[in-house]
Amino acid sequence: MTRTLKMLGLAMMAALALSAVAASAASADLFEGEEAALDVTGQNTNGVNAILTVPGTSVKSECEVSKYSGTATNKSTSITVHPTYSNAGGANCDLEPVGSAPVVTTGCNYIISSITSGGHAGVQIECSGSSKIEIQGPGCTVKIGSQTPDGGVVFDNQGTGSTRDVEVTATVTGIDYTSSGFLCGLVGVPSSGTNATYTDSVTVKGYKDGSAHGGSDQRGIWVNTT
């Protein structure tokens, strides 16, 4: 009898432990909004440029304008956005040390997690088929394909009511890349590497699904970290 009671006690303890784990998973950080589905847009803020560097080389791509577009579902753990990059007026981004270059993102998106771990929420780069993000410099093209790099983003909820938005600050490291072109070797870029870095700061806003994204279309969006 005593042995049976002990076994029942252990079973109850195991069930309670599993319940605690399930409750913890259910309380994960979530993207939330005022409506079930929202269009989301983002643009870099506070004069912060989007910068990709290849450490150990002289290569740095710096874009004055970074824009993001996608959709968000209320109480989801990720959002998918498509990035575009340029300088003011749609000009090519700066590219040291060779002048300027377009940054082509066709077929590639970022998947941003809402769940913070180790000080950052994770970011995935997802490209369809053979597509890659390409920095098309004269004589040297750097390509970045699908991957889950290190680092990530941090969130800062801002505003109230329908004007609530989220400042997203990215510090992404350990980005895999390849390069090709006769100038790559001259500026010290290897044919492949795993150490590129990316930084940016973007304000993400929510809008009524399928709207023209006017002022009256804005809907609150935030990250719930409870």
How confident is the prediction along the chain (226 residues), in pLDDT tens digits per residue?
Answer: 454 434 434 444 444 444 444 334 434 699 999 999 999 999 998 788 999 999 999 899 999 999 999 999 999 999 999 999 999 999 999 999 989 999 999 999 999 999 998 899 999 999 999 999 999 999 999 999 999 999 999 999 999 999 999 999 999 999 999 999 999 988 889 999 999 999 999 999 999 999 999 999 999 999 998 6
- 87 DSSP assignment: -
In the prediction, which pLDDT does 98 show? 86
Rg (C-alpha) for the chain, rounded Å, is 22
Sign of the torsion angle spanned by Cα atoms 42, 127, 151, 171: negative
Q: How far apart are the first and last CA of the chain?
A: 44
pLDDT of residue 35: 95
Question: By 3-state DSSP, what share of the chain in percent is helix, strand and coil, each rounded to 5?
Answer: 15, 55, 25
Which pLDDT value is given to residue 12? 44
**The pLDDT of residue 28:** 65
> What pLDDT, on a 0 to 100 scale, did the predictor assign at position 187?
87
Residues 195 and 176: beta-carbon distance below 8 Å = no
